[in-house]
Amino acid sequence: MRACFLISILACLLLTGCAANPLTDKSQPDKVLPRSDPFARNKLLTKSINLGNFLEAPNEGDWGLKLKASYFDSIAAKGFSGVRIPVRFSAHTAADSPFTINTDFMDRVVWAVDQAERNNLATIVDLHHYQEIFADPQNEKAKFLSLWRQIATRFKDYPASVFYEILNEPHDKLDASTWNVFLNDAINTVRAVDSLHTIIVGTAGWGGISDMNSLEIPATEQNVIFTFHYYEPFHFTHQGAEWVDGSDAWLGTKWQGTSDEKNKIILDFFQVKAWAQTHNRPVLLGEFGAYSKADMESRIRWTSFVVQTAQADSMSWAYWEFASGFGVFDPQNDSWRKPLLQALLP
């Protein structure tokens, strides 16, 4: 009874204090979306999905997936509002300054963004898997800023439904204090080229909520959405994950949806809500998902509850991911995994 009472109280708190911005028509984003209102723009990302393991691979196809125009058609037809496109720009540049992005690779990214726009999907261009900057931030800083100068230049004339995510999951030597400096410089670099597009910013510490209170977004930059990633409980969501040491020991971990399990998610999201209200920033849950080695019933329960909690808190969300280990789509059979899709879009 006490646990149920806590859920009820926190749910009420989650639903108060965040007046929703009216939904806006995306047919002519530049004309209908206020230039300085990231809350309105965040609504475009309300129900999004990550196109992971495509352009974030060292080379497209290395991880068994290549983008198809039909994927964008299907994503839109099912009712998603946006796509997050993780891109490993850092692996496709000249070795020396100004670190020019390979033309063919940039054209492929542009093609993907165009496919999303053609299907009226909002699009996040996400700088992803930049491994070198985590190991040696200072040596990579010039390249990092050059990448954003080039990306912003290429997309500055696109509609406001295109978003820039500065860097996925800073960690290691790109710690919280260093990240705050790099983030400020990256925002200034983008704004020197592009004053229109909304910037998406996450935390150090792998993009989770643990470093949230260390994040310093420049107060003068209002056109920003805060993003965080959520994979808790990690032993459930990453059981059997080949890239996580020791994860085989977690195989068989279930998520039953008990009051204690739900309370943990509610409390974590409440922390994010409180931070966002204090800093007056809209929120995108940029990644969440449970790996395919968890049982499907638990995955459905967990995914559904995370979505419900995010939506109760006026957060937009982007599921991780479309067609790989966490995928809601089966690329081999060219079909959706309907129970998981139902958990996302009931």
Contact call for residues 62 and 44 (beta carbons, < 8 A): no
Q: How far is CA 247 from the centre of its chain?
A: 24
DSSP 148-200: HHHHHHHHTTS-TTEEEE--S---TTS-HHHHHHHHHHHHHHHHHH-SSSPEE
What confidence tens digit (pLDDT) does each residue in 281-310 have? 999 999 999 999 999 999 999 999 999 999
Q: How far apart are CA 329 and CA 180, in angstroms?
A: 36
What is the per-residue pLDDT for 16? Answer: 40
**Helix, strand, coil abundance in the chain, percent, nearest 5:** 45, 15, 45
What is the per-residue pLDDT for 26? Answer: 43
At 317, is the secondary structure helix, strand, or coil?
A: strand
Give Cα separations from 58 to 62, 88, 94, 105, 291 (angstroms). Answer: 7, 7, 15, 11, 22
Which 3-state string (H, E, C) describes 89-126?
HHHCECCCCCCCECHHHHHHHHHHHHHHHHCCCEEEEE
Q: State the pTM of this model.
A: 0.90
Q: Which residue matches tokens 């410089």?
A: 185
What is the per-residue pLDDT for 20? Answer: 34
pLDDT values of the chain reduced to their tens digit, one per residue, 346 residues: 434 444 444 444 444 433 333 333 444 444 344 456 999 999 999 999 999 999 999 999 999 999 999 999 999 999 999 999 999 999 999 999 999 999 999 999 999 999 999 999 999 999 999 999 999 999 999 999 999 999 999 999 999 999 999 999 999 999 999 999 999 999 999 999 999 999 999 999 999 999 999 999 999 999 999 999 999 999 999 999 999 999 999 999 999 999 999 999 999 999 999 999 999 999 999 999 999 999 999 999 999 999 999 999 999 999 999 999 999 999 999 999 999 999 999 9
Question: Could you tell me which of 127, 278, 275 has the C-alpha nearest to residue 209?
Answer: 275
What is the per-residue pLDDT for 113? Answer: 98
- The CATH number of 37-344, from 3.10.129.10, 3.30.70.890, 3.30.1360.170, 3.20.20.80, is 3.20.20.80
Bond into 98 cis (ω within 30): yes
Give the β-pairing of 316-319 and 47-50.
Answer: parallel
Contact call for residues 296 and 330 (beta carbons, < 8 A): no
What is the per-residue pLDDT for 35? Answer: 56
Helix axes 2-14, 296-312, angle to 10 degrees: 50
Domains in the chain: boundaries: 37-344
Q: 300 is written with which tokens?
A: 């459905």
